[in-house]
Each structure stands twice: as C-alpha cells, then as structure tokens.
Amino acid sequence: MTSENDGRKAAISRRTLLARTGAAAAALAVPALGGIQPAMAASWRVPGEETPHKRTWMAWPSSSTIWGGTLSRIQSDIAKLAKEVAKYEQVIMCADGSSAASQARSMCGSTVTVISSVPVSDCWTRDTGPLFRVDGTGGLDAIGLNFNAWGENATSFYGIPASAYNKDRAVAQNLAAHNGVPFARAAVVGEGGGVEYDGDGTLMATESCWVNSNRNPGKTRSQIEAELLSRFGASKMIWLPGVTGEDVTDGHIDGTARYIKPGVVMVQLAGAVRPAVWTANANAIRDVLVNATDARGRRLQVLTIEGPDVLPRISRGKQAAFLSSYMNWTVTNQAVITTQFGDTAKDAAAKTAIAAAYGRPVVQLNLDNLYGNGGGGAHCVTMQEPNR
C-alpha cells in the first residue's frame, strides 16, 4: 500500500492515518461471520515461528486500484524478498490470474513457485492468509481470522473501495483448500500481524487491534481472549498497550515486539525518527513485558534493540510515516530476514542482536518501498507453514 499520489489515485499506507473528516473507526460495522466452527481440541496449536517450516506462502500485488503508480516498486521489493526466502525454504507465491502469475515468475525467478489458483488482492499474507496448526501426531489444519481490511480502515480513511479487498477476505479459506487441509473460521475478526505466539501456551497482542469496534463490536476483551487462546492452542494472553488511529493496523504488535522462542521476547525501542506516540508505546510495551510471566510461569527474558536514528534514503517529509522497524522480520529455516535503513551503526547493532538471539544468520535487505510506501515489512508479507 502507498501514501503517495501519482496523479491518478492516492493509495493506502498501512502505517499512516489520513482520516477523513467525520470518519471514525469505532463506528464501522463488521460483516457477519459465516461458517464459524466450534473450537478444535486443545491439542491443536500454532507452533512458534522459529520451529522448522515446510515452506513460506506469499502473495503477488497486482492491483493498481490499491497501489496506483507505486505498484512496480512494491513488486520489486516483494520479488527481492521472495528470492531471499527461497534460499532457505520453499516459497509459494499466489498470483491473481495468469497474467499476474507470468509477471511474478519473471520477476521472482525459478526458485519461487508461482500459482494462480488462489485469487489475491494484495501482498499482506500475514494478515490475510491462514494460520497453520499442528496436533503433534502428524496432523495439520488451518484457522482464519476473518480479515476485513484492517477494520475497513482502508475504505473509511483512504477511500479505497471495499471491493478492492474482496479476494483477500477469502484468501485464508482458499489457500487452506488449495493445500488440502481442514479450515475453520475464528469467532473474532483480526489479522495475523496482530498477535504473537510462542507455540508453548502464550500469546501477546495489543488491545488496540482486537478490543476495537471496527473489528469486534460488542465483544469484551475476555471473550476475544478466550477465542484466541482456544484457536491458537494457548492458555495465557499477555495484553499490551497499543495505538489506535495512528496507522491502518491500529498498532500491530509485530512491528514492536516479537517472540524469539518460548520465554524470550525482543522489543524495539523507537529511534529518533519515530513520532512520540510510537516511542511512548514501545516503552509501555517493554514495561509490561519485563513484569510478565508466560503460561508456564516463566518470567520473560526481554531483549531490546533500538530503531534507526536517521533514514538517509527517505525524504524528511515521509520519515514519520515510514515503518522503521527491524522487528518485522521473517524467520526461515536457516536465517532471519529483516531490513536495513542506511543508519550504519543501528543497522549493524540490530543485525548483531537478532543473530545472537536466534543463533542463526541475519540477512538485511533494502526494502524501502515496502516499508515506506507499503508501511509493512517482511513479516507482514509472509506466512510460514510448519512441518508436521
């Protein structure tokens, strides 16, 4: 998504709010959820992202309605990331029809498998795709979180037609069907980027994303928590403060705090280029986590890094809207892939800290178009499928 106006249509940036007069996310209606199935048995769980993967799923952006004149630059970053992930595990790229698939194959190369049988609107697979679960006995299924274009913020704040995301609303179910695994819709609305999970019983999420009438009107925090715990196969939720109305996601957790492994989390404290609201929020999230225990009673080990202080490749007027987060990495079987921003000292410090935490190499890519025009990162556009 993009905040630039190329003279044809202003498209969307997920991280910058350009709310129109009178628009209020809290007043949005959420479509009724059809086909909700009872929660599965507790033996089913979403494993931690650091555990072995079978492959990574991605989606090829091809909508000029959403992206306008920045589309080719976003495609370039998606192709760059896909080719890097494919060095470590299989990547399957969903493209919207034969023409988009042909373009994706040309730009991504032979190491990335491209399919056109799962229609997509955009590239945000973390938010639109299914979350895969395992049962410990070789079983695999998937759950969907009923993606509704970030509480319909894409339409209410930016004028992007709601229909532009119709295909993405069905990606979770369609991708699970393509993969031949059972699928169930959760009884809540949200996105995969809005919840972090350790695979060992504990979740963490920001209230601003979930306890929000643009996604879950009429539901209490306790009701939302119970449903998420049941679907993820977890027993404890750590609720974190968030930020409502400053970005389209309402403060997804995956830009600020991530699980490294059970018992260990990392938090990025804001660098000098981030607006004060995000600095305060990062500090508040850290303060909650340093006093938190997980589902097994462990006091969390909280690691911290700092965001960049300078963005030398980004014009000053666009820096406040830029997602300057190292945290939005994607974990692969043999490496962690994140970004670099041109702040030599902070880039190097982040790379060293993340590599030490995971005990595997870290690759840093220049993904300025995705993080700037799109307002999302490597984690936002990938979804891992675990080994059974």
Instruction: Domains for the chain: give ranges and CATH numbers.
Output: 45-386 (3.75.10.10)
pLDDT one-digit tens code per residue, 367-379: 999 999 888 999 9
- Beta strands in 245-351, from DSSP E residues, in sequence order: 257-261, 264-269, 301-306, 330-331, 336-339
pLDDT recorded at residue 20: 32
Sheet holding 183-185, edge to edge: 131-134, 140-144, 183-185
pLDDT recorded at residue 28: 32
- Cross-strand partners of 195: 205
What contacts 126, CB < 8 A, 6 or more positions away? 191, 192, 193, 254, 379, 380, 381, 382, 383
pLDDT one-digit tens code per residue, 81-123: 999 999 999 999 999 999 999 999 999 999 999 999 999 999 9
Mean pLDDT, residues 50-75 taken together = 97
Sheet holding 113-115, edge to edge: 113-115, 90-94, 53-59, 383-386
Number of other CB atoms surrounding residue 98 within 10 Å: 9
- 167 Cα distance to chain centroid: 18
The answer to whether the beta carbons of residues 270 and 279 sit under 8 Å apart is yes
> Token pair for residue 330?
């994607």
Find the range with the poorest average confidence among 4-8, 47-51, 170-174, 365-369. 4-8
Q: What is the pTM of this model?
A: 0.90
What's at 32, amino acid-wise? A
pLDDT recorded at residue 40: 41
The answer to whether the beta carbons of residues 354 and 232 sit under 8 Å apart is no
Ordered DSSP codes for 314-326: S-HHHHTTS---S
From residue 296, give the alpha-carbon distance in Å to each of 102, 201, 205, 373. 48, 8, 18, 40
pLDDT higher than threshold 60 for residue 42? no
Mean model confidence pLDDT for the chain = 90
pLDDT one-digit tens code per residue, 285-301: 999 999 999 999 999 99
pLDDT recorded at residue 149: 95
Percent of the chain with pLDDT over 90: 84
SS (H, E, C) 217-231: CCCCHHHHHHHHHHH
pLDDT recorded at residue 156: 81
CA R_g for the chain: 19
pLDDT recorded at residue 154: 84
pLDDT band at 39 (very low <50, low <70, confident <90, very high): very low
In whole angstroms, what is the distance from residue 8 CA to residue 354 CA?
41
pLDDT one-digit tens code per residue, 215-273: 999 999 999 999 999 999 999 999 999 999 888 899 999 999 999 999 999 999 999 99
pLDDT band at 22 (very low <50, low <70, confident <90, very high): very low
pLDDT higher than threshold 70 for residue 3? no
Percent of the chain with pLDDT over 70: 89
> Token pair for residue 318?
């666009």
- Cross-strand partners of 365: 339
Whose structure tokens read 């997602």? 323
